[in-house]
A and B are shown apart, each in its own frame.
Chain A
Amino acid sequence: MSVLVNKNSRIIVQGFTGKEGTFHAEQMIAYGTNVVGGVTPGKGGTKHLDRPVFNTVADAVKEVGADTSIIFVPPAFAADAIMEAADAGIKVIITITEGIPVQDMVKAKAFIDQRDVRMIGPNCPGVITADEAKVGIMPGFVFKKGNIGIVSKSGTLTYEAADQVVKAGLGITTAIGIGGDPIIGTTTKEAVELLMNDPETEGIVMIGEIGGNLEADAARWIKDNATKPVVGFIAGQTAPEGRTMGHAGAIVGGADDTAAAKMKIMAECGIHVVESPADIGEMMAKVLA
């Protein structure tokens, strides 16, 4: 078992022939991911990286049975690419693109909410199921196979957490980078729920940051539904109020979305909260021992 993506996922790359799309598609294929083709409007009928290129996502679904898409389309056209994928019947959309205008995402989110599709991102590192499928931009070698699931808003902090988990003698089932934008397809709570229902996953690392209340929502859900231990960390304990810290969504707006407030509610809900990002791996090993 695994979550969202596995060795049987039939994956296409939107923005396949662009610089980013090409580079990361190569890396994904090298990892052993089942990339069945890609989409670049106007280049349909050609081949790229030894795989077919289609003009539309609908063609890719029809011709090669694509069920998962990863999007590297530039910000100005990314929301449109999301809607195209959802409309064509793709079941899992993973949007890597950073910098999509917020009002474009308001529309795209409303569009996908009416369809049977799950989106991860945007502005995220993607999803990796260890030894099966890397559908993202993360360094695959860090994620050794094991029994810990990771949910995170951040890219490099996800790699850091995975590295610590592995060094603590454990390994990863699936790591989900949900993204750092104000509007995202899958919330912390939903991602935690997916991992909670995965029989292979025995513990969950949940990494959040300042801004919004996704972590608090997840914590309350965990309090009532957890069947496995959750280790939590919130980045931005030292972030000043009212400043955006890199990610568009990482901004303290009031008393409820500070790191301290989030850590408090997470601890109250039974999550093993670490103050230092250096303690994530050890804490997970400790609670599973």
Chain B
Amino acid sequence: MNLHEYQAKELMKSFGAKIQEGIMAESVDAAVEAAKKLTADTGTSWHVVKAQVHAGGRGKAGGVKLAKNLDEVREKAGEILGMTITNRQTGPKGKLVRKVLIAQDVYYPGESETKEFYISILLDRNTGRNVFIYSTEGGMDIEEVAESTPHLVHKEFIDPHLGLQGYQLRKMAFNLGLSGAAFKDMTKFIQAIYNTYIKSDCSMVEINPCLKTSDNQIIAVDGKISLDGNSLFRHKDLAEMRDVMEEDPTEVEAGEAGLNYVQLDGNVGCMVNGAGLAMATMDMIKLSGGEPANFLDVGGTADAERVEKAFRIILRDEKVKAILVNIFGGIVRCDRVAQGIVDAYNSIGEIPVPLIVRLQGTNAKEAKELIDKSGLKVTPVILLKEAAEAVNKVLA
């Protein structure tokens, strides 16, 4: 589960990290009020208006703008609220901006030069350990930095028994070229980020940029946090931060019905049990001359109600020209899934596209009889290879 920037920064702050202060607003008027309050609280005269969407690349897309007075706050907030940000991370549909963060200006002049860093912490799958990734090259795409100047990207692995140690904090702050007050502040900042990550069960915390201000404070200017969905049962407060408006409405609906669904762009819908077989079925659709319209895992306890819901969701997509049902019955009994298909057919009425059904494994024979008796027209197949051929044929 992803958090917005304003939520991520507030969470870091609650663990003791200094942040670029800000107030979230959902309208232009609220944005102006936020700016006034922020000036009263922090003394900032300029403000930064930042689009709050679950995607990076907001700056380049025009979603982050500087306002030098309240009129400009009104103007920029008006421009950003309601705009659609479209880039590689948002997908072709883009993301509508519904919220802005009005933030203080932290690049004020002072005794020393400002400097931007990159800091993140996440799980390293190879070692099963948490790892800090950090760099002196902040404010840029870290993957590009790693590509062009790999020696400027550092890693610090955390011992799972002991957690983050003092020497590691010092090493990281020294590697970032800091000294004096900024050095000390950086060790505190990294410790706070570590505590945020561990105590909130994050799967990633990324600060880019992390800023050394002209008066030698270390603060988070941006913040990105993903939470481990498996741990939300013990973080009710964090679970409430979920913004379903940022998610695909169909995927949200499917999730509520216990279906694991990802919308894709193709012409063949599919309904499968098990994530691996679902991906494999999508691949087979492609090799048969089609394009998968979705990923859909009906799960290990697929019942009639769930199967009907799955059908309705797939059929809503007008691009779908055929549906392939691929169930390998194990614990899931094929006859139960077949009953779901028949029930769905009875309640939806005519299924307007060709339906290829492959039910294999436990009670496959009973399943076939159920479908044969129902009057539902399907192309029944037994082997996966036959399913592929059937897809090819109906698309031809």
Residues of A whose CB lies within 8 Å of any CB of B are: 75-76, 99-107, 109-110, 137-139, 142, 152-160, 163-164, 167, 180, 182-183, 207, 209-210, 212-213, 233, 235-240, 242-243, 245-250, 254, 259, 275-279
List 3 A-B pairs, minimum CB-CB distance, nearest first: A154-B276, A246-B275, A156-B274
Residue of A nearest to B234 (CB): A76
Give the distance in Å from the alpha carbon of A99 to the alpha carbon of B234 in the complex: 13
CB of B173 to closest CB in A, whole Å: 24
Best-surrounded residue of A157, A238, A279 (most CB of chain B within 10 A): A238
Give the distance in Å from the alpha carbon of A240 to the alpha carbon of B287 in the complex: 16
CB within 8 A of A277: which of B262, B361, B384?
B384
Given contacts A238-B283, A238-B292, A278-B284, contact A246 B278 (CB under 8 A): yes
Best-surrounded residue of A153, A156, A182, A207 (most CB of chain B within 10 A): A156
Give the distance in Å from the alpha carbon of A212 to the alpha carbon of B228 in the complex: 17
The residues of A that contact B38 with a CB separation of less than 8 Å are none
The residues of A that contact B160 with a CB separation of less than 8 Å are 106-107, 109-110
CB of B233 to closest CB in A, whole Å: 6
CB within 8 A of A248: which of B230, B272, B297, B383?
B230
The residues of A that contact B277 with a CB separation of less than 8 Å are 154-157, 160, 235, 277
Give the distance in Å from the alpha carbon of A99 to the alpha carbon of B300 in the complex: 14
Best-surrounded residue of A153, A246, A279 (most CB of chain B within 10 A): A246
Give the distance in Å from the alpha carbon of A102 to the alpha carbon of B125 in the complex: 10
Give the distance in Å from the alpha carbon of A26 to the alpha carbon of B317 in the complex: 42
Q: Is the CB of B276 within 8 A of A155?
A: yes
CB within 8 A of A250: which of B272, B279, B284?
B279
Give the distance in Å from the alpha carbon of A122 to the alpha carbon of B94 in the complex: 36
Q: Is the CB of A209 within 8 A of B330?
A: no
Pull 19 A–B residue pairs with CB atoms less than 8 Å apart, ordered by A.
A76-B233, A101-B234, A102-B203, A106-B129, A139-B331, A154-B274, A156-B274, A159-B328, A159-B330, A163-B360, A180-B276, A237-B282, A238-B264, A238-B283, A245-B275, A246-B295, A276-B283, A276-B388, A278-B387
CB within 8 A of A160: which of B201, B229, B280?
B280
Give the distance in Å from the alpha carbon of A70 to the alpha carbon of B274 in the complex: 21
B contacts with A: majority SS = mixed
CB within 8 A of B286: which of A163, A238, A248, A254?
A238
Q: Is the CB of A236 within 8 A of B283?
A: yes
Q: Is the CB of B279 within 8 A of A245?
A: yes
Give the distance in Å from the alpha carbon of A153 to the alpha carbon of B275 in the complex: 10
Q: Is the CB of B328 within 8 A of A245?
A: no
Can you name 16 extra interface pairs (CB under 8 A) apart from A212-B125, A246-B274?
A109-B160, A139-B329, A139-B331, A139-B361, A155-B330, A156-B272, A157-B276, A163-B361, A164-B384, A183-B125, A209-B279, A236-B279, A239-B282, A275-B283, A277-B281, A277-B284
The residues of A that contact B280 with a CB separation of less than 8 Å are 154, 157, 160, 233, 235, 277
Best-surrounded residue of B128, B160, B295 (most CB of chain A within 10 A): B128
The residues of A that contact B282 with a CB separation of less than 8 Å are 236-239
Q: Is the CB of A183 within 8 A of B123?
A: yes
CB of A169 to closest CB in B, whole Å: 14
Give the distance in Å from the alpha carbon of A75 to the alpha carbon of B228 in the complex: 13
Given contacts A137-B331, A238-B285, contact A103 B274 (CB under 8 A): no
CB of A103 to closest CB in B, whole Å: 6
CB within 8 A of B128: which of A75, A183, A238?
A183
The residues of A that contact B250 with a CB separation of less than 8 Å are none
The residues of B that contact A183 with a CB separation of less than 8 Å are 123, 125, 128
The residues of A that contact B388 with a CB separation of less than 8 Å are 276, 278
The residues of B that contact A254 with a CB separation of less than 8 Å are 143
| B60 at the A interface (CB under 8 A) | no
Q: Is the CB of A278 within 8 A of B361?
A: no
Given contacts A139-B331, A139-B361, A235-B283, contact A155 B129 (CB under 8 A): no
Q: Is the CB of A153 within 8 A of B230?
A: no
The residues of B that contact A248 with a CB separation of less than 8 Å are 229-230
Residue of B nearest to A279 (CB): B385
